[in-house]
Every structure is written in structure tokens, then in C-alpha cells.
Amino acid sequence: METLRRFWQQVRQYWAGLSLARRVLIISATVGAVAALLLVAYLSQTSAYRPLFTDLPPEEIAAIRARLSSANIPYRLVQGGTGIEVPEHRFAEARVTLAAEGLPRSGGKGYELFDETSLVATPFVQSVNYQRALQAELARAIMQLEPVRAARVLIARPEPTPFVRDQRPPTASVVITLKPGASLSRSMAQSIVSLVARSVEGLKPENVTVVDSTGRLLSDPHMAEREELPTPQLEYRRELEFRLTEALVKRILNETPLKIARKEQADSILTGEVRTVPVTNLGNAFGSDLPKELQLVMVVDWTWKNRRTGEIIAQQRGMQQAGEYLPLANETFYDGSAEAINDLAKRIVEAMESAW
């Protein structure tokens, strides 16, 4: 204690012997050193962050957060909670730490399941693990597609039977979650169907179903029945179906007491399909081989049924509606189909009104 008191007295004597200029210089140097230390500490805490993963489902983000917290690695959420960033100088450490835990799982563990060998694994357990691994590997492959954010594959294999008549084929279902603002074309959905069907022994494409996270069917189970139709034509028919849906919604809202609701909340459901749209030349221009007037005929199947009881309220197969357009007057197929779509929507709504 005596030593500390003598030291403090010496400091006071030294300070009292300094001129005003030297006192100001020492105080400035001390304040500058403290400010520099504070600045270094602040910059070390707010160092540049680097994206670790993006566009992941919430359950994946939750698992990654828990592992990073246990490893004392700072992180921050981005992209509305679907992405996560870490300081750039700890990026490699975070990658290795998560990889050791098999994160992100991306649909579950794939063939790395078999890295966890067990001497007591039965053939049944090995078979189940193989199916789990195959499902996870297929989900990872599907997630490589640009519009897909997450995917899950479920494969159903019936029990083998010695009786041929009792044998049932395997089936598969694919549930995908699309990235915000993204869409999946029919051709890409068919690619997913082919990928899954060719990866599972005995699985036929018509037994593979692809849906999105909203429950919308993306695959075409009747594709095999109309393979003669090229993909662009199928896409164009889907566009016609979309435009017809819009026209029906507009007429139902404006001309009927019915309301439009989500599928799970609706009392009844209206479904339909554009079967064919043949185009006929009604005549050429005078002195030319160019068509003067073309006619298209939309052939539509539609069904209106009670969602709760399954009872069909109204239905019509093969409803036809023609539309004409003049190519020489710069009219296109779109103009002719617009006329046919409006007339079809009117006729379908009138049939619905007479049914209720």
C-alpha cells in the first residue's frame, strides 16, 4: 500500500512539473489511443459477412443456427429468414463444422447413411435405409433445378407377392417448394417425373406425381396417352386453360352470387381441361395461297362438383366453341382464342346457373 502511495505522489509531482503544452499533448495521445482501441474492437465485431447458405427451408435454418451457436460462430439471418451469413474470416470453419453434422440435410441423409455401419442391421433395416437414401438423393438432384428451393420424394413399394394378379406397381410422389417468384414449366415437371421413374426399378412415369407446396398438380398423368403432342403445344394448351380460368373467375364474380375461395375452404370445385384446339382454313385470299380466314375450335371438358360430398353438380364433356381470325388483317391465334374463351366462359357459367 505504501509503495502505491509513493508511486501516485511521484506521478502527481511529475504532472505538476509539466508545462501546459505537454499536458495537452499527453491527454490527446491518451484519448487517441483509447479511440483507436475502441475502433478496432468495433470493426472486429462488424467484419464483412459472407453468405453461408441461401434459399433454405425454415427447419434447415433452425438446425444450422443451433449448430453455429454451439460452436460460438456469429451469424445473422438474411432474405427473410431463408438465408444465413457468417463473418468472412470464419466462413471455412462454419462450413466444416456444419459438414461434420451433415448440414444442411437437403431432404435427409443420402447414401452417407451406409457410412454408419452396423453389425446387427437386418435385411429389412438395410432395405428401409436404402429407400431413405434413394429418396434423399433424388430430392437433392431435384433441388439442383433453378426454380426449386426444396424438394421431398416419397416412394411407396408394395409388399412382394407370389400371385401375379395381386402384384401392384411402385408409386412415387414429389413435393417441391419453388423459390419466390419462380415457376415450373410442364416440360421441367416431366423431367422430374422421368428422373424419378428411371431411378426406381419397376416405377412407370404415369405412377409418379409431382405437386408444389400449395397442392397444385404439376405432372401430367396422361402424358403417355398423348405423346404425339410436342411440348410447345402442351404448353400452349396450358396457357389457354389459364386464360379460360381467368375469364371464368371474372364472370363468376361479376355475374353470379358465388364467391371464389381457396380449395380447402370452398364448398364446390370447378375443374376442366382443354382437350384439343384444331385450326381450319376457311378460305384463301383471292389469287393467293395465303389463308384469308382461319377458324379454331376449342374442345373442353369441365366438371363442377360438391367438395364435401363428391356429388357432381354439373358436367359436360367435349364442349366446343369456335373462334375466327383474319391473318391478312394482322389478327393472330390469340385474337381468335380470346373470342372462343369468352364465349366458353359465358356458356359454362350459364350451365352452372341452371344447375343450382
Render pLDDT for 23-38 as a digit per residue (tens, 0 to 9): 777 778 788 788 877 7
- Residue pair 74/86 in contact (Cβ under 8 Å)? The answer is yes
Q: How many CB atoms lie within 10 A of CB 20?
A: 7
Which pLDDT band, with edges at 50, 70 and 90, does 319 fall under? very high
For all residues of the chain together, what is the average pLDDT?
79
Give the model's pLDDT for residue 1.
Answer: 62
For residue 100, which amino acid is it? A
Predicted confidence (pLDDT) at residue 205 exceeds the cutoff of 50: yes
Residue-wise pLDDT for 221-253, tens only, equals 555 444 444 444 556 677 888 889 899 989 988
Is the per-residue pLDDT at 142 higher than 60? yes
The predicted structure's pLDDT at residue 328 = 80
- pLDDT above 90: residue 347: yes
Amino acid at 132: R
Least confident of 39-43, 111-115, 124-128, 240-244: 111-115
Kindly state the cell numbers that stand for 170: 411402385
Report pLDDT for 132.
Answer: 82
Which of left, alpha, beta for 181 (phi over 0: left; psi -120 to 50: alpha)?
left
Instruction: Give me 266's grid cell.
Output: 370452398
pLDDT value of residue 230: 42
Label residue 193 exposed, middle or buried (CB < 10 Å: 0-12, 13-18, 19+): buried
What pTM value is reported for the model? 0.43
